[in-house]
Structure 1
Amino acid sequence: MSVARCPASGGELIQGWILGSEKLISCPVDWYSTVEVREGTPLADERPLARAMLKALLARWGYPPTFSQALRIEIDSTIPLAKGMASSTADIAATAVATAHHLGHSLSESELAAQCVALEPTDSTLFRALTLFDHHHAQTQIACAAAPHFDLLVLESPLQLRTADYHRLPRRAALKANAGVMQRAWEKVQSACTRTDASLLGEAATLSAVASQTLLPKPAFAALLALVESCGLYGLTVAHSGSVVGLMLDRRYHDVDYLHWALSQQKLAAHWPQRHLLASVAGGVQASA
């Protein structure tokens, strides 16, 4: 029996047309999918992509297809589904690493990324460092220096959007139109990590969030930007292929209670009735036997 866990993402720090194609940097937060792989009969209600990952790895390592039926996958996760919080990436990446450990194999981060994108567009939460990632093909994996710490007040909408549905939208022209903005955002991310500057990271995320409005607009976005400005927050993240928004802050210095009050006063709570105060964390899949 082996266990692994992978963090959720509070939307993306940046996503758009960068270095010649669409890429992203996820925003890993302290909310995890924990997966156990052990001998046993498969559960009737298990998540299909997790089983697909297990089968793909068995094929990779030369096990007979029937061996899959002798392995049970159990997932413990409360990460909201289809909201843009990387719930699926967390499930399949943790499944992959737990499967590898259970069978005595190993997967590098690059190998894990390739396995994941073979199933679906994948978030970069599976990397330990903030990583500019080609989430369709895994051909670009550029790690940044250690990220500055911040907190994220995640605003959860009841609206759901499957990542696969978003990626079927005609987006290429709009993405390329914002390439200049996204290049600046990417440069700011690199500087923010080099200088350990959460404010600069927030500037990068906000640039990307504004650009995303042309593709998947968030309601009352101008009011959220005004709140960020008036409260001196670092910036905001959005799920570029989902519905959540994240307010970037430091809970030691920013008044979180006031933010809750302001969201209610401005009737923004109607769009995001659930909120989660989360800490940013290093990404990567953590395994234990």
Structure 2
Amino acid sequence: MGKNVQIAQAGIGQSFGTFGELLQGVLPDNDLDFLVSFPITRYSHVTFVPDPGRDSIEVIPSHKTKTRDLASKILSWYKLPTGGRITVNSMIPVGKGLASSSADLVACARAIDNCYNLGIREEDIQRFLAEIEPSDGVMYPGVTSFYHKAGQLRDFLGTLPHLTVVGIDEGGTIDTLSFNQRKKPFTLRDKLEYQRLLDEIVLAIHKKDYVRVGRISTRSAQLNQKLLVKRTLPKVLDICERIRALGVIVTHSGPCIGLLLSSRLPDYPYKLGKATKLLKEITGEVNIYHSWERCHDLKHFPVIQERNIK
């Protein structure tokens, strides 16, 4: 281990999830799969209690096996006692493309770091996660462009404050591991468009040009119909046009779709109410999400309650 570690009674860690991606696709160079994340104020909370008297990890709930595997990897890497108990408490729905699994893993790494004061960096967490499953950059404090299959950061893009997603769920769940093994149907023309959209959204995020961000997110949702059809997309696009929302955003590997709004615009209350009413007519239930902002501490995010409107 190479240094003395300070053992706490327990360690806690947290991570935000994402509402899918602003952009996701394949680049023409080497057919690299990439995404541009959209962090939201929904979190996974993990507690780690070390138990030197044991040689294995207990995880609660027991089906969170990837979280257990990650904990074992980290403890072994730092030559720490490999026994303990992990408790995962997440407010992120599973199988919806909201980065629930990645958030659990990042929160777990932070809980162990908090317990032993290891000084684990985002790059270290990224490396550990790459050995477990594709991830979406939630270990970094904001929006990223990320090579999710390779588990590598392309670029850290900052934050997108004051954005709201009014979202619906078309139903069902999708296993991310299986989804990422699908053969992509994108043509060279599609891949060249993805490259152009990626270049554009990087500039748009840096400039906080939310109109352009919304337009690119909408185009990504349309392109993704080749890979994972959202049956309600035509209706949501129509509502987007009617209320002049910034754009449409989807979980590219999940069943959720929503409208992007800016809470800084004077007509926000009207658009929020109108979007909620019209989307509710499609599925009967609407969820409100808010973009994550840098002001929250990375290891101890406050729990911000989201609304579930039926």
Letter in 2 for 1:52: D
Residue 82 of structure 2 is matched in structure 1 by 68
SS in 2 for 1:160: coil
1:11–1:84 contact (8 Å) kept in structure 2: yes
Residue 42 of structure 1 is matched in structure 2 by 58
What is the Cα deviation at residue 237 of structure 1? Answer: 1.2
1:200-256 deviation digits (Å, cap 9, x = unpaired) = 111121111111010001012111111111111011111111111121002463322
Give the 3 Å change call, closer, same or farther, for CA 193–19 of structure 1 in structure 2.
Answer: farther
Give the 3 Å change call, closer, same or farther, for CA 220–154 of structure 1 in structure 2.
Answer: closer
Instruction: Name the count of aligned residue pairs.
Output: 278
What is the Cα deviation at residue 78 of structure 1? Answer: 2.2
1:235–1:247 contact (8 Å) kept in structure 2: yes
1:35–1:76 contact (8 Å) kept in structure 2: yes
In the alignment, structure 1 segments of 5+ residues that lack a partner are: none
What is the Cα deviation at residue 135 of structure 1? Answer: 0.9
Residue 209 of structure 1 is matched in structure 2 by 221
Q: Is 1:235 matched up with 2:252?
A: no
SS in 2 for 1:68: coil
Residue 278 of structure 1 is matched in structure 2 by 289
SS in 1 for 2:101: helix
2:13–2:299 contact (8 Å) kept in structure 1: yes
Residue 253 of structure 1 is matched in structure 2 by 267
CA distance in 2, matches of 1:249, 1:17: 27
1:181–1:211 contact (8 Å) kept in structure 2: no
In the TM superposition, what are the counterparts of 1:1-20 in structure 2 within 5 Å? 1-18=10-27, 20=29
SS in 2 for 1:218: coil
SS in 1 for 2:82: helix
TM-score, normalised by the number of residues in structure 2: 0.83
1:8–1:32 contact (8 Å) kept in structure 2: yes
Q: Is 1:51 matched up with 2:68?
A: yes
What is the Cα deviation at residue 285 of structure 1? Answer: 7.9
SS in 2 for 1:286: coil
What is the Cα deviation at residue 43 of structure 1? Answer: 4.5
Q: Is 1:30 matched up with 2:36?
A: no
Letter in 2 for 1:281: W
Q: Is 1:89 matched up with 2:98?
A: no
Letter in 2 for 1:53: L
1:148–1:192 contact (8 Å) kept in structure 2: no
Letter in 1 for 2:82: S
CA distance in 2, matches of 1:246, 1:127: 24
Letter in 1 for 2:285: Q
Give the 3 Å change call, closer, same or farther, for CA 176–86 of structure 1 in structure 2.
Answer: farther
Aligned Cα root-mean-square deviation (Å): 2.1
Out of 110, 124, 131, which is 1:111 matched to?
124
Pick 1 or 2: higher relative contact order, CA cutoff 8 A, min separation 6. Answer: 1
1:242-282 deviation digits (Å, cap 9, x = unpaired) = 111121002463322222222244xx21xxx4322111014
CA distance in 1, matches of 2:111, 2:187: 36
Give the 3 Å change call, closer, same or farther, for CA 19–2 of structure 1 in structure 2.
Answer: farther
CA distance in 2, matches of 1:87, 1:164: 13
1:153-198 deviation digits (Å, cap 9, x = unpaired) = 1212321001011112111x42654212212321221222222121
CA distance in 1, matches of 2:183, 2:114: 40
CA distance in 1, matches of 2:59, 2:132: 21
Q: What is the aligned-residue identity percentage?
A: 23
In the alignment, structure 2 segments of 5+ residues that lack a partner are: 1-9, 52-56, 301-310
What is the Cα deviation at residue 141 of structure 1? Answer: 2.5
Residue 54 of structure 2 is matched in structure 1 by none
What is the Cα deviation at residue 55 of structure 1? Answer: 0.4
Out of 205, 208, 211, which is 1:196 matched to?
208
TM-score, normalised by the number of residues in structure 1: 0.89
Residue 220 of structure 1 is matched in structure 2 by 232
Letter in 2 for 1:185: L
1:127–1:285 contact (8 Å) kept in structure 2: no
Residue 187 of structure 1 is matched in structure 2 by 199
CA distance in 2, matches of 1:39, 1:159: 36
Out of 151, 157, 164, which is 2:170 matched to?
157
